[in-house]
Amino acid sequence: MRRIKLTVAYDGTNYCGWQIQPNGITIEEVLNKKLSRLTGEDIRIIGASRTDSGVHALGNVAVFDSETGIPPERLAYALNQRLPDDIVITKSEEVPLDWHPRYCNCTKTYEYHILNAKIQDPTRRLTRYFVSYHLDLEKMRRAAGYLVGTHDFASFCNVRTNVEDTVRTIYELSVIEEKDEITIRIRGNGFLYNMVRIIVGTLLRVGRNFYTPEQVEDILEAKDRQAAGVTAPPHGLMLVGIEYE
């Protein structure tokens, strides 16, 4: 028996997120079916990040156990021949049998992409959140500074989550402008349910002058979801990668 680690990229537009659920097709479901047919075994993968419906990824991580004779490094090529065009395995490799993608220390990097223009661009509508109004990026950057570090992010967590510990560490939170696109890049040791999208929604309200940058510190200290901004739409979000220690 071997444990195989997969690095997975996907366009989440046509999927109900990563995790298997009864109301639609998911990334996990597709991978389980294709791997089971490829290996002749009943494969059940374990994913590192359970991305939501419509969220994209360049570097999500999953593992599965198998006795297949296919070399681990060749599994990516064999599996890609069977996967739909919007899911790609960028790397496959063997890891120790006790290695778990959720319980190892890691840094996750997300990017939220915004098209800030007067007119929508149909070629980017599935991967960029269209915002037609002016945003004060300097204020957004100042506000972002209050969120960097180790904090209780209860105000930036969906109320439906059942997690007990809402303390997380953000290493980097940048607001980057390039032509008509704004990228909010965030790196941390883990994220709560909808945390990145709520942070983005809050920063956008700062950019529109509904909040001052200093109010973000008050929102953080409130530990109340109602204090923060709305949850930004999922299609602008991308899991860029996961780096393990």
Question: Of these residues, 11, 52, 86, 180, which one is catalytic?
Answer: 52
The reported pLDDT for the residue numbered 161 is 74
Residues (pLDDT < 70) of the chain are none
Global model pTM greater than 0.85? yes
Tens digit of pLDDT for each residue in 69-114? 999 999 999 999 999 999 999 999 999 999 999 999 999 999 999 9
The reply to whether 52 belongs to the active site is yes
Three-class SS of the chain: CEEEEEEEEECHHHCCCCCCECCECCHHHHHHHHHHHHHCCCCCCEECCCCCCCCEEEEEEEEEEECCCCCHHHHHHHHHCCCCCCEEEEEEEEECCCCCCCCCCEEEEEEEEEEECCCCCHHHCCCCEEECCCCCHHHHHHHHHCCCEEEECHHHCCCCCCCCCCEEEEEEEEEEEECCEEEEEEEECCCCCCHHHHHHHHHHHHHCCCCCHHHHHHHHHHCCHHHCCCCCCHHHEEEEEEEEC
